[in-house]
A and B are shown apart, each in its own frame.
Chain A
Amino acid sequence: QQQVKQSPQSLIVQKGGISIINCAYENTAFDYFPWYQQFPGKGPALLIAIRPDVSEKKEGRFTISFNKSAKQFSLHIMDSQPGDSATYFCAASIEEAASGGSYIPTFGRGTSLIVHP
């Protein structure tokens, strides 16, 4: 059972356009929602994250919008650049005081973004 559903699978945007990637989750216990960026030949890297006590978080050209009632969240990339071309993963996890204090994210299937110059 896929707990985090991500769409679209692939996305092509012109330089300067807005890229939008959507995710939906099922487990209402999830309370931490990160986005990861992965370039070919590299591991995923944390891009931006949000907790459900806010509806939006912005860092530079990247914005997460969060809708708790709909159990959905999305990544918006403003003024998309060719250097943004990568695979983007949404994820969800439960923050808890487990031993080690480390979290275990559940990932979506990823969105391959291509930004044409």
Chain B
Amino acid sequence: ETGVTQSPTHLIKTRGQQVTLRCSSQSGHNTVSWYQQALGQGPQFIFQYYREEENGRGNFPPRFSGLQFPNYSSELNVNALELDDSALYLCASSSDRGDNIQYFGAGTRLSVL
């Protein structure tokens, strides 16, 4: 186990709704990254937070937003859900020691109907 937990594990929403996904980082990690993994594809980088500040963003629209809390847990919020948002959402935590290791959670499977 990586020590990174995500909730919920599965979620079903309808188009136009909003969703919040949560991630608890591994102890001692101050950086969290979120990825979208469509079926049969590799993870696509959404954004990264370091010490509660956004530290990088991929090619995703503004309706994808995030937060990192003082305890370094994190949320991914998606507004105005679209059918193409159906995917596995992964969070990964890491430290700032420069070891280039991200520890992934098992993900949240989001289905948009």
Contact = CB atoms under 8 A, between A and B. Distances in A.
Contact of A98 (B30, B43, B56, B103): B56
Interface in B85-109: 90, 92, 94-98, 100-107
Interface residues of B, number: 33
A70 interface: no
Interface string A76-117: 000000000000010101010011111111111110000000
Contacts, number: 74
Chain B residues touching A, majority SS:
loop
A54 interface: no
B101 A46 contact: yes
Contacts of A61: none
- What's the dominant secondary structure at chain A's contact region? loop
Most chain B beta-carbon neighbours within 10 Å: one of A43, A99, A104, A105 = A43
Interface of B: 2, 4, 30-31, 33, 40-45, 48, 50-51, 53, 55-56, 58, 90, 92, 94-98, 100-107
Interface of A: 4, 6, 32, 34, 41-46, 49, 89, 91, 93, 95, 98-110
Given A44-B90, A101-B96, A102-B95, 7 more contacts: A42-B106, A100-B30, A102-B50, A105-B102, A109-B41, A109-B42, A110-B40
